[in-house]
Structure 1
């Protein structure tokens, strides 16, 4: 969905990007890479507005941080 701009389930092109968040106590759509709220990688979701299918993608600039922590 992120690349094709098309839903793989219903072929719709109507979709939205829901930004990832990092809140207190680890809430939100994120991956912790450190001990503070400032050390999270936010995980945005792409949602089809026609059928509701959703995918999560990591932004390319955050991949090195994940490789360093988990790689």
Structure 2
């Protein structure tokens, strides 16, 4: 859905991206990798406006930080 901009459930092309964010006290769509909001990895949502299906994606450049924090957890 992220790359092709087509819903895998209903084949609609009416897709929106809801950007991840990190707010006060960890509020938002993110994964904390440290103690501050600056360490948060943002999780972006892609939503089909036709059927409501959604997917969550993390930017590739943020994956090494997640692996460092959670790979052996």
Normalising by the smaller structure, the TM-score range is: over 0.9
Look up the SS of the partner of 1:38 in the other structure: helix
CA distance in 1, matches of 2:66, 2:47: 23
State the match for 2:12 in structure 1: 12
CA distance in 2, matches of 1:27, 1:33: 14
State the match for 2:46 in structure 1: 46
CA distance in 1, matches of 2:61, 2:17: 17
Runs of 5+ in structure 2 lacking a partner?
none
CA distance in 2, matches of 1:3, 1:37: 28
CA distance in 2, matches of 1:61, 1:17: 18
How many equivalent residue pairs?
Answer: 71
Runs of 5+ in structure 1 lacking a partner?
none
